[in-house]
Structure formats: C-alpha cells, structure tokens
Structure 1
Amino acid sequence: MYQAIHATSISLKKYLGDQIKADTFLYATGAPYRVRGMDVYLNTPKEMEDNSLEGISLWLYRVVRDDQRLNDPPVRISPNALKLPPLPLRLHYLVTPLTLRTNKGDPDTEQYLLGKAMQCLHSHAVFRGTDLQQELSGTAAELHVRLESLALEELTRVWDALEGSYQLSVSYEVSVVNIDTAISPEPVTPVLEVVPRTGVIVGVS
C-alpha cells in the first residue's frame, strides 16, 4: 500500500483538527481560530503564507528507512504463499503554528496552537483503529508519534531550505509506516507433516 504515507498525514491532520475544534477556549465564539477560518494544513509554512492561510502547518519534511526492521522475514499469507516484508519508514513532520502578518503576527494565538498540538500528541501518542484514515482505515496498522529534540542548528537548516524566516516550530517522528511490496507473493510448498527424529550425539575422544 503505497498510499500509507499520505494516509498517515491525513490521520494526524484530522485528529489535530478535531481536537482543536473541541477545545472551548480555542474554538469559542469570537476566538481567532474560528473567526479567521484557521485549520490544520499539510502545506509548508511558506505555502501557507503565500496563500494567506492561517492555523497549523503539519509539513512532512523527511522520510527515512527504519533500519531496525529491514531484516524482517517474509510473511506467510497462506499455506502456499510467502509475501516479501514491507518497506518500513519513519516520517518526520514539522509542526508550525502560523498567523498572517496582516493580523500583526498574533504570537499569542501561535503559542496557544503550538501548546494544544503538543498536548494532543503527547496525550495520544499511538494511532490505531478508528484513529486511522483513508487507506489505513480498517487495517491493523499502529503508528507511534514521538517528539524529536532537534538542535537549533538542525531546525535552522530546515528553514533555510524553505527560504523563509524562522518560525516557532517543533518536529515529530511517526513510526513505523509500512509501504507494501509490489511483488506478487511467492508460491511455496507447505509443510504437510512434521516427523520428529531422535539421535545420539557421540563425542570425539
């Protein structure tokens, strides 16, 4: 399932959006999030700014292979077939609250939004079952969300790549996201009978 990356992003986006809208402080009548039509976007912060969007940027900026699971064995999906293991990935998201300069930057709202997002992902660090959206819905997938402690230099490099001014942001790692192989299952001969054997080990004198 190559759609797993996108489905993971949508799952995170929906959860954060639902939690913010359920917060009586952030989504109260007259609150900026509600009045100004803020939302959670998968766009980069710069794309949000260029398109006059406000809210939270949930930007997938890095995808790496999970080396700890590369040696997983093939999976027997039936007595007569083996399927190659999936490609295990770790996804890295930059979470950035963003308000428009026309609204004077609104640092109060940005800090509220960042605090809420961090509270949500700390309280709900495992996504499974009904948390999963789109192609991951109904699967046995389990996604673990972890706050990364990036040094200022690392964050600065990310913002340099965006060609934008640095904004208050944090990074989260989501693992493990599996991309299924496109190779058809390999036919194998099933084990029909197990015959136990015994013997005597004779030492060499």
Structure 2
Amino acid sequence: MYQSVLATSKTLQHYLETQIVADPFLGGSGPGAGPFTARGMKVSLRTPKEMETLEEGLSLWLYRVVVDDQSLNDPPRWISATQMQDRPLPLRLHYLVTPLTSRDNDGDPETEQYLLGKVLQLFHSKPCFRGADLREQLTGTDTQLTVRLETMGLEEITRVWDALEGSYQLSVSYEVSTVHIDSGLQPVAGRRVKVALPEYGVIARDEAGSAA
C-alpha cells in the first residue's frame, strides 16, 4: 500500500504525543499541568519553519526518503498457494525532530531541551513498533518499524537548515526502517516449488577427443 509512509509518520506522532502528555512534568492536567499541556503544544508533521508561526511543540518532519538496499532484492511474496505478489519497494525514512516554543514565551530554551530529552528517552526505550503500536493503514498488518538515532555531520545539518531557509534550531535526526510500498501490479499465478530433482548428464567424447 502506498499509504504506509504517512501511516508511519502518524504512528510516531501518536506515540510521542501520548507519551509526552502522560509525563507528569511536561504534560498532566489541571492547574499543575506541565508546559506541553498548559500551552496547547502539539507534535506536528509540519516543517520547523511552518511551526514557528503556527504552533508550539515538536516538529516531526519527514525530510528524506531513501531505498533500503539491504531489502531491495527480497523475493516476491506468496499471497496464496497459487498467487505470487511482486516484491514491495523497501524504504528508509529520515525524520528531523525539532522542539519549538513561540516568541510569546521568549523562545523558552529550557522547555525545548526538556522536550528533546523526552524524545531521546522515548525512542531509546522503545525503538521498535509493531502490532498495537501501529496506526492508520498499518493497523492490523505484520509491519515492524525500527527507529534509530542517527548522527548528522555539520555539512548535512547546514544543508537541511539552508533548505528550510530558517535559523538553526536544536534538533535530532532519526532513521525509520523498513517501510514498504506495495507493488501496484496484479498478482501472478504460479505454484511453489516443492521438490527440486537434480538431473544428470554424461559427457561422452568421440574418438577424436571432442565432447559429444
């Protein structure tokens, strides 16, 4: 299914938001609620620049999609005893996670660093998502997503923020694998190979010594 990219983003978004809201220091409810809840912060799929003027919270921005070379040559999948589905396109998704607070709150770098620390804790504690963790079109599938913190060099960080045309904000990057885009081709009829029988041949030579 082609919806798996967005469904992956929604899975991560739901996990981060529910866990941060449940945190007694950042979230909670009532008069003693933390800044995430009290200030109506969100985990958004918008770019950091788009969020700056619209809302506070976390930008979970998908900024890069690449082919997963290690899974590219996986064999076709049998969907029944007589039908074979072409192999899916395996992808690795790269997300830039940026905590943002508004100018109305003086930028609030302390809250931004609290939020970033919480994100690091959450994905370190739970790097794999499957089963009931999955959202949207991934619900009920056998998909397994692995989240990995990746180190970005200064040159790569500069390129990303130059593309955003905004000032640099404290951020981290995560790689999520493997996300599959199913083939749009119709299944092909066929049968599984049950037994492989080797065949033997005898190479005979004629009197002249050439093979026959």
Q: Is TM (by shorter chain) over 0.5?
A: yes
Match of 2:65 among 63, 67, 83: 63
Residues 84/105 of structure 1: CA separation in 2 closer, same or farther (3 Å cut): same
- Where does residue 37 of structure 2 map in the other structure? 34
Partners of 1:96 and 1:6 in 2: CA distance:
19
Q: Secondary structure at the match of 1:143?
A: strand
Structure index of larger Rg: 2
Which deviates the most, 70-79 or 168-177?
70-79
**Structure 1 position 156, deviation (Å):** 1.4
- Where does residue 13 of structure 1 map in the other structure? 13
Matches within 5 A, 1:103-182: 103-182=105-184
Q: Secondary structure at the match of 2:118?
A: helix
Residues 172/197 of structure 1: CA separation in 2 closer, same or farther (3 Å cut): closer
Q: What number of residue pairs does the alignment pair up?
A: 202
Q: Secondary structure at the match of 2:63?
A: strand
Matches within 5 A, 1:192-203: 194=195
- Where does residue 46 of structure 1 map in the other structure? 49
Root-mean-square deviation over aligned CA pairs: 2.0
1:3-42 per-residue CA deviation (whole Å, 9 max, x = no partner) reads 0000000000000001101111111424221111001000
Partners of 1:195 and 1:164 in 2: CA distance:
61
1:65-107 per-residue CA deviation (whole Å, 9 max, x = no partner) reads 0111111111122222111110000000000000011210000
1:37-74 per-residue CA deviation (whole Å, 9 max, x = no partner) reads 001000001111122x0000000000000111111111
Partners of 2:176 and 2:135 in 1: CA distance:
15
Same amino acid, percent of matched pairs: 59
Which segments of 5 or more consecutive residues in structure 1 lack a partner in the other structure? none
State the AA in 2 paired with 1:107.
P
Match of 1:88 among 81, 90, 95: 90
Q: Secondary structure at the match of 1:78?
A: coil
Which deviates the most, 14-23 or 71-80?
71-80
Partners of 2:196 and 2:52 in 1: CA distance:
69
State the AA in 1 paired with 2:42.
D
- Where does residue 188 of structure 1 map in the other structure? 190
Partners of 2:149 and 2:192 in 1: CA distance:
44
Q: What TM-score does the superposition give when structure 1 sets the normalisation length? A: 0.92
